[in-house]
Amino acid sequence: MIKIGIIGGSGLDDPKILKDVKELDVSTEYGKPSSVLTTGEIGGVPVVILSRHGKTHSIAPSQVNFRANIKALKDAGCTHIIATTAVGSLREKIRPGDLVFPAHAIDFTKQRKMTFFDKDEVVHTPVVEPFSKELRNLLSSVADELGFSHHNGATVVTIEGPRFSTKAESFMFRQWGADIINMSTCPEVFLASELGLSYATVAMSTDYDCWKDDEEPVSFEMVMKRMEENAGKVKKLLLKAIPKIGQGL
Protein backbone atom coordinates (compact mmCIF):
# COMPACT_ATOMS: atom_id res chain seq x y z
CA MET A 1 0.00 0.00 0.00
CA ILE A 2 1.25 3.47 -0.88
CA LYS A 3 1.77 5.78 2.07
CA ILE A 4 3.26 9.23 1.58
CA GLY A 5 5.53 11.07 3.96
CA ILE A 6 5.61 14.85 3.59
CA ILE A 7 8.62 16.67 5.04
CA GLY A 8 8.30 20.40 5.57
CA GLY A 9 4.63 20.86 6.26
CA SER A 10 3.45 23.75 4.07
CA GLY A 11 0.27 24.00 6.14
CA LEU A 12 -0.88 20.50 5.22
CA ASP A 13 -1.39 19.56 8.86
CA ASP A 14 -4.42 21.85 8.78
CA PRO A 15 -7.35 19.72 10.06
CA LYS A 16 -9.49 21.13 7.24
CA ILE A 17 -7.20 19.47 4.69
CA LEU A 18 -6.29 16.19 6.35
CA LYS A 19 -9.01 13.70 7.29
CA ASP A 20 -8.85 11.59 10.45
CA VAL A 21 -6.00 13.65 11.91
CA LYS A 22 -3.86 12.14 14.65
CA GLU A 23 -0.52 13.10 16.18
CA LEU A 24 2.05 10.45 17.03
CA ASP A 25 4.96 11.15 19.40
CA VAL A 26 7.58 8.63 18.25
CA SER A 27 11.23 7.83 18.73
CA THR A 28 13.79 5.80 16.75
CA GLU A 29 17.13 4.14 17.45
CA TYR A 30 18.67 7.37 16.09
CA GLY A 31 16.72 9.57 18.50
CA LYS A 32 13.53 11.57 18.15
CA PRO A 33 12.47 13.16 14.89
CA SER A 34 12.15 16.92 14.56
CA SER A 35 8.43 16.92 15.37
CA VAL A 36 5.51 14.69 16.15
CA LEU A 37 4.12 12.85 13.15
CA THR A 38 0.80 14.23 11.94
CA THR A 39 -1.14 11.44 10.24
CA GLY A 40 -4.31 11.47 8.19
CA GLU A 41 -5.59 11.10 4.63
CA ILE A 42 -5.65 13.23 1.50
CA GLY A 43 -7.97 11.97 -1.20
CA GLY A 44 -8.10 8.58 0.48
CA VAL A 45 -4.30 8.23 0.50
CA PRO A 46 -2.56 7.76 3.89
CA VAL A 47 -0.22 10.66 4.66
CA VAL A 48 2.35 11.32 7.40
CA ILE A 49 3.62 14.88 7.87
CA LEU A 50 6.86 15.77 9.63
CA SER A 51 8.15 19.32 10.22
CA ARG A 52 11.86 19.25 9.36
CA HIS A 53 12.80 22.22 11.54
CA GLY A 54 10.21 21.60 14.24
CA LYS A 55 6.68 22.96 14.52
CA THR A 56 8.03 26.41 15.45
CA HIS A 57 11.06 26.36 13.09
CA SER A 58 13.40 26.14 16.08
CA ILE A 59 15.91 23.57 14.74
CA ALA A 60 18.84 24.94 12.71
CA PRO A 61 19.74 23.10 9.47
CA SER A 62 22.85 21.44 10.86
CA GLN A 63 21.03 20.38 14.03
CA VAL A 64 18.27 18.49 12.20
CA ASN A 65 18.37 14.78 13.05
CA PHE A 66 17.94 13.64 9.46
CA ARG A 67 18.42 9.95 10.29
CA ALA A 68 15.70 10.02 12.94
CA ASN A 69 13.35 11.87 10.57
CA ILE A 70 13.74 9.41 7.69
CA LYS A 71 13.67 6.35 9.96
CA ALA A 72 10.52 7.61 11.70
CA LEU A 73 8.74 7.91 8.35
CA LYS A 74 9.96 4.47 7.29
CA ASP A 75 8.79 2.97 10.60
CA ALA A 76 5.40 4.65 10.10
CA GLY A 77 5.00 2.66 6.88
CA CYS A 78 5.79 5.37 4.33
CA THR A 79 6.72 4.17 0.84
CA HIS A 80 7.22 7.61 -0.72
CA ILE A 81 8.53 10.95 0.55
CA ILE A 82 7.76 14.38 -0.86
CA ALA A 83 10.04 16.97 0.71
CA THR A 84 9.20 20.66 0.51
CA THR A 85 11.97 23.23 0.76
CA ALA A 86 12.87 26.85 0.08
CA VAL A 87 15.74 27.32 -2.36
CA GLY A 88 17.82 30.10 -3.78
CA SER A 89 18.07 30.31 -7.56
CA LEU A 90 21.45 30.14 -9.27
CA ARG A 91 19.94 30.64 -12.74
CA GLU A 92 18.25 33.66 -14.28
CA LYS A 93 15.41 31.53 -15.68
CA ILE A 94 14.42 30.18 -12.24
CA ARG A 95 12.57 33.15 -10.84
CA PRO A 96 11.38 33.77 -7.29
CA GLY A 97 8.02 32.01 -6.91
CA ASP A 98 8.86 29.26 -9.42
CA LEU A 99 8.64 25.62 -8.36
CA VAL A 100 11.58 23.30 -9.04
CA PHE A 101 11.72 19.49 -9.10
CA PRO A 102 15.40 18.51 -8.91
CA ALA A 103 16.90 15.36 -10.41
CA HIS A 104 20.48 15.71 -9.16
CA ALA A 105 22.17 16.73 -5.91
CA ILE A 106 25.57 18.05 -4.86
CA ASP A 107 26.37 17.58 -1.17
CA PHE A 108 28.47 20.48 0.13
CA THR A 109 27.69 19.81 3.80
CA LYS A 110 30.56 19.04 6.15
CA GLN A 111 29.42 17.66 9.50
CA ARG A 112 26.11 15.81 9.16
CA LYS A 113 25.40 12.13 9.81
CA MET A 114 24.97 11.00 6.22
CA THR A 115 24.37 7.25 6.36
CA PHE A 116 22.59 4.55 8.31
CA PHE A 117 25.49 2.19 7.58
CA ASP A 118 28.29 3.54 9.76
CA LYS A 119 28.65 0.75 12.33
CA ASP A 120 28.24 -2.98 11.75
CA GLU A 121 28.10 -3.17 7.96
CA VAL A 122 29.24 -1.20 4.97
CA VAL A 123 26.64 -0.71 2.23
CA HIS A 124 27.39 1.23 -0.94
CA THR A 125 24.11 2.70 -2.20
CA PRO A 126 23.80 3.72 -5.88
CA VAL A 127 22.59 7.33 -6.11
CA VAL A 128 23.21 8.24 -9.75
CA GLU A 129 19.87 10.09 -9.72
CA PRO A 130 18.79 10.11 -6.06
CA PHE A 131 15.36 11.62 -6.76
CA SER A 132 12.53 9.44 -8.07
CA LYS A 133 12.12 10.21 -11.77
CA GLU A 134 8.54 8.91 -11.78
CA LEU A 135 7.55 10.99 -8.76
CA ARG A 136 9.09 14.25 -9.96
CA ASN A 137 7.62 13.80 -13.44
CA LEU A 138 4.17 13.33 -11.93
CA LEU A 139 4.63 16.45 -9.79
CA SER A 140 5.78 18.36 -12.87
CA SER A 141 2.72 17.18 -14.81
CA VAL A 142 0.41 18.36 -12.03
CA ALA A 143 2.19 21.73 -11.94
CA ASP A 144 1.44 21.99 -15.68
CA GLU A 145 -2.23 21.26 -15.02
CA LEU A 146 -2.33 24.00 -12.38
CA GLY A 147 -0.54 26.51 -14.58
CA PHE A 148 2.39 26.95 -12.20
CA SER A 149 5.74 28.11 -13.54
CA HIS A 150 8.16 25.26 -12.80
CA HIS A 151 11.40 23.53 -13.78
CA ASN A 152 11.94 19.77 -13.93
CA GLY A 153 15.34 18.08 -13.73
CA ALA A 154 17.46 20.71 -11.96
CA THR A 155 20.56 20.20 -9.80
CA VAL A 156 20.41 21.28 -6.16
CA VAL A 157 23.49 21.98 -4.04
CA THR A 158 23.09 21.72 -0.27
CA ILE A 159 25.32 23.81 1.99
CA GLU A 160 25.83 23.42 5.71
CA GLY A 161 24.29 26.66 6.92
CA PRO A 162 23.02 28.38 8.92
CA ARG A 163 24.86 31.17 7.09
CA PHE A 164 24.14 31.94 3.46
CA SER A 165 26.77 31.74 0.71
CA THR A 166 29.46 34.28 -0.02
CA LYS A 167 29.36 35.74 -3.52
CA ALA A 168 32.47 33.74 -4.43
CA GLU A 169 30.75 30.52 -3.31
CA SER A 170 27.60 31.40 -5.22
CA PHE A 171 29.58 31.84 -8.45
CA MET A 172 31.47 28.59 -7.75
CA PHE A 173 28.24 26.63 -7.40
CA ARG A 174 27.03 28.09 -10.69
CA GLN A 175 30.25 26.92 -12.37
CA TRP A 176 29.71 23.45 -10.91
CA GLY A 177 26.37 23.24 -12.71
CA ALA A 178 24.07 23.75 -9.73
CA ASP A 179 20.75 25.42 -10.49
CA ILE A 180 19.34 25.92 -6.97
CA ILE A 181 20.76 25.99 -3.46
CA ASN A 182 19.42 25.08 -0.02
CA MET A 183 20.40 23.75 3.43
CA SER A 184 18.21 20.66 3.74
CA THR A 185 18.18 18.23 0.80
CA CYS A 186 21.43 16.47 1.73
CA PRO A 187 21.77 14.03 3.38
CA GLU A 188 17.95 13.64 3.51
CA VAL A 189 17.64 12.34 -0.06
CA PHE A 190 20.52 9.87 0.37
CA LEU A 191 19.13 8.49 3.62
CA ALA A 192 15.80 7.91 1.91
CA SER A 193 17.63 6.03 -0.85
CA GLU A 194 19.35 3.81 1.72
CA LEU A 195 15.96 2.76 3.11
CA GLY A 196 14.43 2.18 -0.32
CA LEU A 197 12.02 5.11 -0.19
CA SER A 198 10.95 6.92 -3.37
CA TYR A 199 11.88 10.56 -2.74
CA ALA A 200 11.10 13.78 -4.59
CA THR A 201 11.50 17.44 -3.69
CA VAL A 202 9.11 20.31 -4.28
CA ALA A 203 11.43 23.29 -4.12
CA MET A 204 10.19 26.87 -4.06
CA SER A 205 12.54 29.51 -5.38
CA THR A 206 12.57 32.50 -3.01
CA ASP A 207 15.61 34.53 -4.13
CA TYR A 208 18.72 34.70 -6.35
CA ASP A 209 21.20 33.81 -3.57
CA CYS A 210 23.88 36.53 -3.93
CA TRP A 211 25.35 36.10 -7.40
CA LYS A 212 22.99 38.48 -9.21
CA ASP A 213 24.17 42.09 -8.89
CA ASP A 214 20.82 43.68 -9.76
CA GLU A 215 18.98 41.72 -7.01
CA GLU A 216 19.11 42.19 -3.25
CA PRO A 217 21.24 39.45 -1.60
CA VAL A 218 19.27 36.74 0.16
CA SER A 219 18.23 37.20 3.79
CA PHE A 220 16.23 35.05 6.20
CA GLU A 221 13.45 37.63 6.22
CA MET A 222 13.26 37.54 2.43
CA VAL A 223 13.04 33.74 2.39
CA MET A 224 10.27 33.60 5.00
CA LYS A 225 8.27 36.40 3.36
CA ARG A 226 8.31 34.76 -0.07
CA MET A 227 7.58 31.32 1.39
CA GLU A 228 4.47 32.72 3.07
CA GLU A 229 3.42 34.43 -0.17
CA ASN A 230 3.78 31.29 -2.27
CA ALA A 231 3.16 28.37 0.12
CA GLY A 232 -0.36 28.06 -1.28
CA LYS A 233 1.11 26.78 -4.55
CA VAL A 234 2.79 23.87 -2.79
CA LYS A 235 -0.41 23.07 -0.92
CA LYS A 236 -2.49 23.03 -4.12
CA LEU A 237 0.14 20.94 -5.91
CA LEU A 238 0.25 18.27 -3.22
CA LEU A 239 -3.50 18.12 -2.77
CA LYS A 240 -3.88 17.38 -6.49
CA ALA A 241 -0.82 15.13 -6.83
CA ILE A 242 -1.23 12.86 -3.82
CA PRO A 243 -4.43 11.13 -5.01
CA LYS A 244 -2.68 10.47 -8.35
CA ILE A 245 0.34 8.97 -6.57
CA GLY A 246 -2.03 6.79 -4.58
CA GLN A 247 -3.28 5.28 -7.82
CA GLY A 248 0.24 3.98 -8.48
CA LEU A 249 3.11 5.41 -10.51
- Cα 4 from Cα 14, distance rounded (Å): 16
- Cα 50 from Cα 36, distance rounded (Å): 7
209 is catalytic: yes
Beta partners for residue 19, in sequence order:
41
Q: What is the SS3 assignment for 226?
A: helix
Say if CB 15 and CB 57 are below 8 A apart.
no
Say if CB 49 and CB 12 are below 8 A apart.
yes
Cα 124 vs. chain centroid, distance in angstroms?
23
207 is catalytic: yes
Which of 98, 107, 209, 213 is labelled catalytic? Answer: 209
Q: In 3D, which of 21, 11, 79, 19 has the Cα closest to residue 43? A: 19
State the maximum Cα–Cα separation within the chain, in Å, rounded to a whole number: 52
Say if CB 242 and CB 142 are below 8 A apart.
no
- Cα 92 from Cα 76, distance rounded (Å): 40
Which of 98, 107, 179, 207 is labelled catalytic? Answer: 207
Say if CB 25 and CB 68 are below 8 A apart.
no
Catalytic residues: 207, 209
